[in-house]
Structure 1
Amino acid sequence: METPEVRLATARGRWILFATVLGSTMAMLDSTVVNVALPQIGLDLDADLAVLQWTVNAYLLTLAGLILVGGALSDRYGRRRIFVVGVVWFAVGSLLCGLAPNAGVLIAARALQGVGGALLTPGSLAIIQGSIHPDDRGRAVGLWSGLGGVGAAVGPFLGGWLVDGPGWRWVFLLNVPLAAVCAPVALRHVPESRDPQAAGRFDVAGAVLGATSLGLVTYALIEARSGSPWVITAGVLGLVLAAVFVVVERRRAEPMVPPDIFASRQFTAVNLVTLCVYAAFGGFFFLVVLQLQVVCGYSALAAGAALLPTTLLMLTLSARSGELGERIGPRIPLTVGPLLCAAGMLLMLRVGPQASYGRDVLPALVVLGLGMVALVAPLTSTVLASVDPGRAGLASGINNAAARAAGLLAVAALPLLAGMGPEAYRSATQFDAAFGRAMPWCAGVLVLGAALAWATIRTPAPDEPHPHAQCRTQCGVTGPALEPGEPWGPERLD
């Protein structure tokens, strides 16, 4: 492959960075603004708690199930082409969400959004890798991450302002003008690039089996309160399909998730920690904005602004956390970080009807944010360092999918575990009691993650090189970063 020639300081380099940041910010905003809008969506559509769960999970389901496929398509058919298709697809899904007349249409449109996100998310960083000169690439990735982080930080605040102002539909409709700017800029200024060694068949069977099993299990968890035989059937069938997925991946010559990558004990261990951490995060961020609005009486804007401290701590301290992790190894940060997050979630038990933001809410969010700072960047670094450099893209894609799937299952299961009824979010008393039962579950999963990290994560030898130092700038609240520069799909496994 020819060395990319575009320098970041040129006009074309800046346009490339602008397009990739804008595209990834669309997907990142969507994952941070929607939770704030959930109470109003429920009231306007006369929906129960299950609809709110599906509003979050329909997007996560298609995103988690197809993100590896999206990367493979980018490498084979062109990163710019698939990125632009993803941006347009995401915008169409967003428009349908904003115009949805009922809950069923909203959920279907959210699933379409997730497909668009799966196409554009891996392509965003891959474009930088395939277009920007190697001497400028580290700075470009840092700028991409920092500017995207600002988008994530603004998301809850912006979402609250939109819900309280023009209405919750604008949380989705906002993506349409962003896409109308992003797609033409990408077509005009971003050079096409692809992986010339990408070959072989797509693992369509693996993608379908993985997404279908996740969907059936999610449905069974969300609808479990009904006690319907169909729910039990769906759950059992989902588990059976998950087992079939494992068998198929073992037998295929070019699997979507190559089983041999889990021969690395470090990679397997850090993915188990990822499942615990992002399950807790997914459940917490789904419930906390409801708690602040339903129980504490916050407006949507106030609830979104209340969460800013965690994201601001991530933005300001994550690079230093990554540097510390490189010096002392990942074992301590990946043990201490989840424990701090668990403490923050237990402190949220103080947040009730008469809670003070300064006395009750802020301390809990600061402790939680410090825990996230401690663990997210070292977790990403450890994923990438645990496999051969030639498989870094595949490893990061698998880890990202694992994080999304963990959040998906947590949003489905946590209300069930906490005894949250279908109408709980309409009653401050009922929801406060259920929230009090949910936070220990989240904290317990984090403690399990810390124990796994302490028992299984290996600290590299002092002289062992770190192949992906730039990844300390790539961190996010809703999922690990996607590392560019290597094949996304299973086409190259050497």
Structure 2
Amino acid sequence: MNQLSPEEAQGSAPPQAQTAVVWTAILASSMVFADGAIVTVAIPQMRESLHASLAEMQWVTNAYALTLSAFLLLGGAAGDAYGLRRVFMIGIACFGLTSLWCGLSQSAGMLIAARAFQGIGGALLVPGSLALISAHFPPEARGKAIGTWAAASAIAAALGPILGGWLIDVGPWQTIFWINLPVAGLALWLCWRRVPDSPAASDAPMDWIGAALAVIALGLLAYGLTALGEQEGRRVTAALATVAGMVALGVFILHEKRTAAPMMPLDLFRVPAFANVNALTLLLYFALSGALFFLPTVLIEAHGYSATEAGSVFLPFTIVMALLSRLGGAMAHRFGVRRLLTAGPVVTGLSFALLVPAVFHGNYWSAVAPVMAIMGLGMGITVAPLSTTVMNAAPGDRVGVASGINNAVSRVAGLVAVAGLGVVATLGFRQAAAWAAPEVADGFARATFGALPPGAPRSLYATGMIGGFGLVALICAAAAVASAWLGYRSVPPAGPEPVSSP
């Protein structure tokens, strides 16, 4: 995401320093990549411990996603302006300290605040991982180094939820945040002692106004969508906040058009392939984030999964996706990018639809794991050609910015999904319970997804949970299948062609 100077891009460091760069990037970015799934596994225990509502648990996830997505592009520019190594170390330290803060939180409000600051640390950290590798490896060795980093990050993403679930089963939920402290400490020490410093470009522009407008717009949208799922009396406030967020988003777009150094250059969206593939990303990652946010909770609450078992449901998905992503180049050459960007989202959408009967059945090996493997198949044949299309749609000197925009779009999609699908889950939860037992419908009328009404039978609660998740999964399936049309439009039949820089 960082715009490296030609000297940096072609430079290299001694072999020992290069090894330290790769390991520092792996340790630091693994904390961020594993974070999302680990937190979703912990939601039931956190909600019970903190006496929190569904909306507060949504904000535990979204406060982090909000600042991460809003500051992600600015984080790359900060590395250019103040030095890659310095900003990267600040990001690691911020992520580690805010992880400690998360673990010490005694209320949902304090945890939400800590998660917001943790997202800022992640926004400084994530762009620096690849930028440091690019800055310290020559072009001929850069691909292997990035491949090592990507493989290790995939392993961390696969094992993180299982480790997080085990920590929750044997101890308090706070341990899922405290586990970041030794990792951050080791990464910080390694970066300080072994990673060479990189020069700062004092004239690199920073779009602080754009970042602030992004936080305001996304924050208002997330608040409005989340509040829709709460008490009836807050519907007007929710609607006003949503409208205000859309207005703020319009102001952000106007600012990005007029400012001399936008953090999100909108002229890239004039390229049809770039616009279509980012719209695909928005729909597909909306579906993925929405389904995976609610999945661990329904398995724990409706089927009695332990946190470790709930975390392990991510394993088939991650393994299959990681294996197929590494074969993305060969598959694109054989089948064509257009076919993969069409078939991949369709398969992924099918997997979301199949989650409905799988979660109703509940058995891990015969129902849930096979469907998660199908989901990994769909995403695995989508991710690599999606990245290829993003890169090929942008001029050579703006590939980093294009990649950063696509990353930010995927984060925003998750933010909107978690905020907006809470009301859907609660609606399905209430309707399923009322349909199964009309005589106790009043007891569920004010309950939210994941909250057992006082005196309600546990079996009826499980039915409501399965119904709520089922409605969410079907909406996610529709969004994923709709994104396939955008994938078909993203690439001409002959394949993507790079756009020359003007």
Query: TM-score, normalised on structure 1?
Result: 0.90
* Partner SS, residue 261 of structure 2: coil
Structure-1 separation of matches of 2:199 and 2:64: 27
Question: Letter of the aligned partner of 2:206 in structure 1?
Answer: F
Aligned equivalent of 2:144: 139
Match of 1:230 in 2: 237
Q: Distance in 2 between matches of 1:432 and 1:326?
A: 41
Alignment of 1:46-445 (within 5 A): 46-194=51-199, 196=201, 199=203, 201-224=205-228, 225-226=230-231, 227-228=233-234, 229-352=236-359, 354-418=361-425, 419=427, 420=429, 423-426=448-451, 427-445=461-479
1:15 CA drift (Å): 1.4
- Residue 488 of structure 2 corresponds to residue 454 of structure 1: yes
Unmatched 5+ residue regions in structure 1? 468-492
- Write the distance in 1 (CA, Å) between the matches of 2:447 and 2:71: 30
Distance 2:208 2:336 in 1: 38
Aligned to 1:25, the other structure's residue is in SS state: helix
Once residues 64 and 329 of structure 2 are traced to their aligned partners in structure 1, the CA distance between those partners, rounded to angstroms, is 30
Q: Deviations over 1:413-460 (max 9, x none)?
A: 112134157532133222111111111100000111012222343245
Contact 2:81–2:204 (Cα < 8 Å) also in 1 = no
Report deviation, 1:230: 2.7
Query: Which residue of structure 2 aligns with residue 482 of structure 1?
Result: none
CA distance in 2, matches of 1:200, 1:14: 28
C-alpha RMSD of the superposition: 1.9
One-letter code aligned to 2:252: F
Q: If each structure's helix is expressed as a fraction of its own residues, which one has the higher value?
A: 2
Deviations 1:396-427 (A, max 9, x none): 11111100000100011112134157532133
Amino acid at match of 1:89: C
The Cα shift of 1:177 comes to: 1.1
* Range with bigger deviation, 423-432 or 268-277: 423-432
Structure 1 residue identity aligned to 2:183: L
What's the offset of the Cα at 1:349? Answer: 1.0
Native 8 Å contact 2:344 2:382 kept in 1: yes
Q: Structure 2 length as normaliser, TM-score? A: 0.89
**Counterpart of 2:205 in 1: which secondary structure?**
coil
Equivalent position of 2:40 in the other structure: 35
Tell me, in whole angstroms, the C-alpha distance in 2 between the residues paired with 1:448 and 1:251.
33
How many Å separate the matches in 2 of 1:253 and 1:466? 22
Which amino acid counterpart does residue 222 of structure 1 have in structure 2?
Answer: T
Code of the aligned partner of 2:281 = T
Q: Which moved more, 1:312-321 or 1:324-333?
A: 324-333
Post-superposition shift, 1:354? 4.7
Residue type at the aligned position of 1:189 = R
Quickly say closer, same or farther: Cα 1:354–1:268, change in 2 above 3 A: closer
State the secondary structure of the residue aligned to 1:351. Answer: helix
Cα-to-partner distance string for 1:37-82 (whole Å, 9 max, x where unaligned) = 1111111111111111111111000000000000000011110000
- Gap change, CA 1:201 and 1:354, over 3 Å in 2: closer
For residues 158-184 of structure 1, the C-alpha deviation after alignment (integer angstroms, 9 at most, x for no partner) is 111111012211111111111111111
Following superposition, the deviation at residue 231 of structure 1 comes to: 2.2
- The amino acid across from 1:416 in the alignment is V
Which whole-Å CA distance do the structure 2 matches of 1:16 and 1:57 have between them? 30
- Closer, same or farther: CA 85–185 of 1 in aligned 2, 3 Å: same
The yes-or-no answer on 1:6 pairing with 2:16 is no
Q: Distance in 1 between matches of 2:488 and 2:150?
A: 29
CA contact (8 A) 2:393 2:498 kept: no
Alpha-carbon offset, residue 134 of structure 1: 2.7
Largest Rg, 1 or 2: 2
Give the 3-state SS of the residue equivalent to 2:450 in structure 1.
Answer: helix
Equivalent pair of 1:153/1:308 in contact (CA under 8 Å): yes
AA paired with 1:305? S
Q: How many residues in Structure 1 have an aligned counterpart in Structure 2?
A: 465
- In structure 2, relative to structure 1, the CA distance for the partners of 1:404 and 1:211 (3 Å cut) is same
- Percent identity of equivalent pairs: 39
Structure 2 counterpart of 1:490: none
Q: Deviations over 1:240-262 (max 9, x none)?
A: 11111111111111111112111
- Counterpart secondary structure, 1:424: coil
1:204 Cα shift? 1.4
Report the counterpart of residue 441 of structure 2 in structure 1. none
